[in-house]
Structure 1
Amino acid sequence: MADQTPQDVSSEKAVPVKRLWYRTTLFNAFVIGAVGFIAPGLWNAMNQLGAGGAQRPYLVNAANALVFGILGFMCIFGAPIANRIGLSWTLFFGAVGYPVYSAGLYLNNRYGVEWLVLVGAVACGFSAGLFWASEGAIALGYPEPGKRGRYLNIWLWFRTGGPLVGGAIVLALNNDASAKKKGKVSYTTYLVFTILQTLGAPIALLLSPPEKVQRADGSKVIIKAEETFKAELQALWKTSTRKDILLLLPIFWAAYFNQYSGNFQTYYFGVRARALIGFTSNFGTLLSSQLMSTLLDYKGIPVKKRIVWGFYYAVVLHIVAWVYGWVVQEKYTANPPAYDWEDKGFVEGYFVLLLWDFARQGLQNWLYYLVSTKTDNISELTRFSGILRGQESFGQAISFGLNTREWVGGRVPLAVNTILLGLAVYPTWLVVRDHVPVEEKNNENSITPNAELESDVEKTADASAVILPEEKVKFASAETNVARDTV
């Protein structure tokens, strides 16, 4: 169908130009990082308190189930939207709903108002769906392939820095002796968060469009945008039904299914202990991100081997975290505690939450890296990251829904999550085993150039692509390979 032919906006620069600091990949990494810091970062800070800092987790869990149910659909369909309106505006609309959600928690905490919690959940769900559909593609598609791990880590450091700073704010406002017992955090906490989150949308407008990004090596971001929205939906459907994507669905679901950690905090810890956990657990998350990203970006190991080693590392982390979690949970089921940070048994329960977050962060880094090595086209990468985050969100929605009930000892949500993780290992391994990273495909194709490929280069050049002479064969090989693999 002629109206569905992709438009290629990809090439190498023919003439060196002076780089503008606000067009560099580093500046754009800071933009996406700052929005992630303010919007989902502070949102995570609230939820790391356990149930958004509420005294009882059930209303907030219901609201979060609503958030992630909407978010799941919006992540998936956000890719066609992002490819039509642009990543900058997608990121802008992806940040506007977060302060509405925080305002709902503020009114509920201070005055007992419930309706704005649910309205805020709807607004946050639509907004967050667009945010996640664009954020992963920007973080992974803007930098050159050899720096993906580094820039992925910058993005995640910023996004984890949100809960870190937010946790410090919460701890500063909820650390007196009256907060030793179970209860809810100070309403001032939500007021501060709401004000800070209103800054996210204006910062998003500083993002450069993909075609204007200036990489350090002079290469351009590859864009193969569909000409119509209908064609975008068809491309999304084809991507969603790929065998490798279908095999990854179980791990997409299992990766973020553990929302029982919020209930675990409200059940067994006082307010200021939860505030301390919300602050300090982020250091473990940052360390986990750094370790996995260092492995995935290590140039001394082939890309495929990094992915395989990262897979085994993530599996071992989850085995350790979940075995320890089950042991402690069974102990607490028999004799439920209510720990303050001064109590003797506090560290034991704290390490359950620390290990869960540590394992989850390592798995998330690995998953995004794996997906990013499937394509060098940012339009397709937007679809991949949208599907990944969308399916994770469906898992989170069901998990939050599951945790609206007060299960005895937490056995039901823990058992469901454990089973999901176990079922996800083999299909994920099949994807890893058969995966050929796009960098390795391009390298293979660039080794044996031929006349047919050179002819393709000339055709591409006639179609207005500008290519460095010494890069013609390599670029043509990459384009031929991408076209063959896109379904």
Structure 2
Amino acid sequence: MPTDAKKASHEVNTPERSFANEQEILELPNSWKYKRLSLFGFKFPWYASPPTQLFIVSFVCFMCPGMFNALNGMGGGGQMDATANNHANTALYSTFSVVGFFAGTFTNKLGIRTALSFGGIGYSVYVASFLCYNHTKNLGFTTFAGALLGVCAGLLWCAQGAIMMSYPPEDSKGRYISWFWMIFNMGAVIGSLIPLGQNIHTQSAAPVSDGTYVGFLVLTLIGAALAWTLVDAKDVVRHDGSKIIVMKHPSWKSEIMGLCEVFVTDPYIIALFPMFLASNWFYAYHFTEINAAYFNVRTRALNGVVYYTMQIVGAYIFGFALDYKGIRRTMRAKIAWASLFAIIMIVWGCGYKFQQTYDRAWSANEANRKKDWSDDGFGGPFVLYMFYGFTDAAWQTCVYWFMGSLTNNGRKLANFAGFYKGIQSAGSAITWALDDHKISFMTMFATNWGLLAGSLLIALPVIIWKVEDTVSVEKDVEFTDDTVSEVQAKAIVIPTGGESVTEKVV
């Protein structure tokens, strides 16, 4: 058989069967993309499988956005004066908000590999601009690099979101999201360890060294190149034999019409827009108005390590809990919403007490010594900053899972991911601009807490009425017109202990 994966009828299809045994009942195409390697008795998934493709895209983000997060997590992009970082990030998220909103159209037309690789190059230019700024103070270059990165990142994150939400089977989406978020944030952890190691013995205030920027630059270039090792979505075969719903010959017209069609077929997605807006709103506050404003350089680096480590922990806990088989998906969605609301109220409630201890005037006064990890009273703010990272991962994981539970259609999910990143970036552009205009820290805190809690309330009707236990293939294909591809769904009867079940192979 040339392209469609089939199941042998003599096998029993049970949920407990291991992934390793799944391949034995599949008749895969005779290509290197579907060969499995064994090492120390463990069989790895074939190359054109969702786990392998997710692993690759995770490492692209590990090396590109991961290094960006490490740099920004230090506050000020590693500079003592946050002006260049604020200008660059305002430009970045301004262009990101526009490109990101329409990125699904571009990604569906250009393809996953092109979108990811082009996106990675933008991160390299961004890091290079700060290396240049260390010597020339060229504010124009950093601002341009930020604007360029906004264009590139819009495509990268749209492609990433489409892979993460459309490639896995329905019962594994939470785990796939958590695996991605854990690998991606490991990049920021390692990136934060670099300046920590360089500054561990000094409490003086100084920008990060050229070596830090060079290290980040090399890793982002490797990440951009790694994107070309992905396979086309049409070649990906899941372990149950199904394929990805994609357009056969997408045109610019069909993709723009598809973008508009989402608002007709799925108008409820608008109720999730406030959650999208809130999802990056807090980064300017976390990185610049807490980490850079309150702590010295080596402590900022340590905080970056624990912040992203707790993101890994949060992604693991929420990702696997969202796939828990003992509870129906509709109920899991409601529990996830309630858990998010409780975490937001507890963590940001503690943050309110902390924010009362300092303000922008204290931070701007050079006579006030920034806090070090050796100072008395460091423990409370340190733990709070850890849980800000945990909350971030919980929020992002749940938002992606909510979107992924609404459809399995790769084309539609690319548009959802584009909406998510576009609106998210608009929020970031606003907050970096507000910080550049020296808005009070308490006002910024209040906007964060209010937006997070309020957006959850607005999204609640979607969580209650639109998340289903499963989404049928027929419902997903309805969105994609007659030119849809690779959707030659055929019914396959599989004996399961005397019963018959009909499964669609897409």
Bin for the TM-score computed over the shorter chain: 0.7 to 0.9
The 3-state SS of whatever aligns with 1:108 is helix
Matches within 5 A, 1:40-119: 40-119=65-144
| Counterparts of 1:108 and 1:384, CA distance in 2 | 36
Matches within 5 A, 1:39-438: 39-177=64-202, 180-224=203-247, 227-240=250-263, 242-258=266-282, 259-263=284-288, 264-333=290-359, 338-408=370-440, 410-437=441-468
Contact 2:66 2:186 (8 Å CA) reproduced = yes
Q: Deviations over 1:328-380 (max 9, x none)?
A: 11012397662111111222222232222211210110000010111111111
The 3-state SS of whatever aligns with 1:375 is coil
| Counterparts of 2:187 and 2:133, CA distance in 1 | 23
| Counterparts of 1:467 and 1:356, CA distance in 2 | 47
Structure 2: where are the runs of 5+ without partners? 8-25, 36-45, 364-368, 476-481, 495-499
Shift, 1:461, TM fit: 13
> TM-score when scaled to structure 1?
0.87
Shift, 1:436, TM fit: 3.2
What amino acid is aligned across from residue 425 of structure 1 in structure 2? L
What amino acid is aligned across from residue 257 of structure 1 in structure 2? W
Contact 2:196 2:301 (8 Å CA) reproduced = yes
The 3-state SS of whatever aligns with 2:28 is coil
| Counterparts of 1:286 and 1:201, CA distance in 2 | 23
Flag the 1:225–1:292 CA change in 2: closer, same or farther, 3 A: farther
Contact 2:96 2:153 (8 Å CA) reproduced = yes
Task: Report the number of matched residues.
Answer: 452
Flag the 1:309–1:202 CA change in 2: closer, same or farther, 3 A: same
| Counterparts of 2:429 and 2:115, CA distance in 1 | 23
Contact 2:295 2:370 (8 Å CA) reproduced = yes
Contact 2:56 2:227 (8 Å CA) reproduced = yes
Matched, 1:440 2:470: yes
Shift, 1:12, TM fit: 5.8
Higher share in helix: 1
Q: Deviations over 1:247-298 (max 9, x none)?
A: 1111111122112112222211111111111112222111111110011111
Contact 2:246 2:484 (8 Å CA) reproduced = no
The 3-state SS of whatever aligns with 2:436 is coil
What amino acid is aligned across from residue 245 of structure 1 in structure 2? I
Contact 1:94 1:127 (8 Å CA) reproduced = yes
Flag the 1:462–1:99 CA change in 2: closer, same or farther, 3 A: closer
Flag the 1:110–1:462 CA change in 2: closer, same or farther, 3 A: closer
Larger displacement relative to structure 2 (237-246 or 365-374):
237-246
| Counterparts of 1:86 and 1:75, CA distance in 2 | 15
What amino acid is aligned across from residue 298 of structure 1 in structure 2? Y
What is the root-mean-square deviation in Å for CA atoms of aligned residues?
2.7
| Counterparts of 2:373 and 2:269, CA distance in 1 | 44
Q: Residue 27 of structure 1 corresponds to which residue in structure 2?
A: 52
Larger displacement relative to structure 2 (187-196 or 33-42):
187-196
Percent identity of paired positions between Structure 1 and Structure 2: 27
Contact 1:11 1:466 (8 Å CA) reproduced = no
What amino acid is aligned across from residue 255 of structure 1 in structure 2? S
> TM-score when scaled to structure 2?
0.84
Contact 1:182 1:266 (8 Å CA) reproduced = no
Larger displacement relative to structure 2 (88-97 or 288-297):
88-97
Flag the 1:444–1:64 CA change in 2: closer, same or farther, 3 A: closer
Contact 1:56 1:266 (8 Å CA) reproduced = no
Shift, 1:113, TM fit: 2.3
What amino acid is aligned across from residue 381 of structure 2 in structure 1? G
Contact 1:66 1:122 (8 Å CA) reproduced = yes
